[in-house]
Amino acid sequence: MRVTFTRHARRRAKLYSLAEGRLADLVREAQPPAGTQTILRDIPGVPYPVKIVVAVEEGCATVITTYPLKKGRKA
């Protein structure tokens, strides 16, 4: 699956010191179905779980935004 990042997602990843390569690996591991999906994962070195919002269509996943959940995990 090909993973691309929007400009907004790239800026959020840089702001919160999240590596784009690691985020792309998390999206590939999750294997999200088509449509807009939310992925919550713990990343070593980040004190909070990370939320990744992804739009998936025909083998291409576009990361819309990503950020740590500073108030803890929410479903």
* CATH code of the domain containing 43: 3.30.2310
Average pLDDT value for the chain: 91
- What is the 3-state secondary structure of the chain? CEEEECHHHHHHHHHCCCCHHHHHHHHHHHCCCCEEEEEEECCCCCCCCEEEEEEEECCEEEEEEEEECCCCCCC
Number of domains in the chain: 1
Domain presence at residue 33: yes
Domain presence at residue 41: yes
Domain presence at residue 63: yes
What is the domain range of residue 55?
2-68
Domain presence at residue 48: yes
Domain presence at residue 75: no
Domain presence at residue 73: no
Q: Which pLDDT tens digit goes with each residue over 43-74?
A: 888 888 999 999 999 889 999 999 998 876 66
Output the pTM of the full model: 0.87
Domain presence at residue 8: yes
